[in-house]
Amino acid sequence: MKRSLFWALLAMAACSAPQGIKTTGALRIQSVQPDVVSGCAVRAGDWMALKGNDFGTQEDWDQGLSYALFPPGLPAEAPEITQAQDPATLMFRVPHGAESGVLRLHVAGVGEAEIPVVVQGVAPEMAVPGCEVPAPPSPPE
């Protein structure tokens, strides 16, 4: 009985995490908008939002200690923690020149993540349900 309960809980935990995202350390990614893991594409200049357990401090992002790199090694533009917890939210823009591949996220003192992304050219495409780009963060008041 205990063994079956253990396997059932393990299966639930595996199914609740977004598939295709690899994390290390204490970093956990709960969702990505647009849902690049399910095949949504992004374009240069699009905003992306990550929800997770901890994205460190805004100071670490401002100083480059925490970073998001798009292939071929281009930093995400304007990274901003828009919500510190419950869940934490990090927003940034896809840089010009980004290519399809693995988005590498490093959060100082927390961990790292690898997120598969498909980057398209600059021409807008028909809207695909679930692939909506998040609105840019609100300016500070």
- pLDDT tens across 118-127, in order? 998 755 554 5
- pLDDT tens across 29-84, in order? 999 999 998 889 999 999 999 999 999 999 999 999 999 999 999 999 999 999 99
98 residue type, one letter: A
Task: Produce one character per residue of 50-79: b if its CB has 16 or more CB atoms within 10 Å, e if not.
Answer: bbbbbbbbeebbeeeebbbbbeeebebbeb
81 class by beta-carbon count within 10 Å (0-12 exposed, 13-18 middle, 19+ buried): buried
Q: What is the pTM of this model?
A: 0.79
What single DSSP character describes residue 26? T
Fold for the domain defined by 18-120: Immunoglobulin-like (2.60.40)
User: Is-contact 137 81, C-beta < 8 A?
Assistant: no
